[in-house]
Amino acid sequence: MTTQQLTRDDISVVDQYLGMWNEPDPTVRRQTITSIFAADAHHVVSAPIELRERAYALGFPRLTMDIRGHADLEFRVAQAYAEFVGSGQYRFEPNGEARRVGQAVMFGWQMVTTANGERAGSGTDVLMLDVAGRIVSDHQFVD
């Protein structure tokens, strides 16, 4: 299957997805989650390296976090906001062009410092969309 042209709706989902991580208003974050994610959607994350190393030392060879449903997604985004963006130290933004193959949309992101725009972290997300264009799964790879 070849890469398809992104539709306006695909671009909107990616923009809203990235925007929710930067959104200061919990009500707006909740509304974004319920509008772009299916009710039973899940968000699967490869844990950051420092967590993987600690887990490995405790006998867990792999550490993957799997968040399911709107309430857990809201908690995950709120915690990430509080730790990274709410401090005023960082913001999330796109990194490169989004691409689509079938029902999958893949895009890169980066966390940059607000002081000078320097990259502090990055990753890639692969969103699986349902026929209505809502996210049914989000696989996030943290670099």
- The residue range of the domain holding 17 is 8-142
Name which of 46-60, 68-82, 111-125 the model is least confident about: 46-60
**Phi/psi at 128 (5° precision):** -100, 125
Q: What is the pLDDT of residue 62?
A: 78
Q: Using one digit for the tens of pLDDT, what is the confidence trace for 77-117? A: 999 999 999 999 999 999 999 999 999 999 999 999 999 99
First to last CA, the chain: 26
**Structural domain count of the chain:** 1
Dihedral sign computed on CA atoms, order 75, 16, 4, 107: negative
CATH number of the domain enclosing 17: 3.10.450.50
Q: Confidence class of residue 2 from pLDDT cuts 50, 70 and 90?
A: low
- Asked, for residue 2, whether it belongs to a domain, the answer is no
For 16, 53, 59, the CA distances from 9, given in Å and listed in that order, are 10, 38, 43
| Over residues 55-63, mean pLDDT | 83
Distance CA(84)–CA(86), nearest Å, equals 6
- Asked, for residue 1, whether it belongs to a domain, the answer is no
- Asked, for residue 46, whether it belongs to a domain, the answer is yes
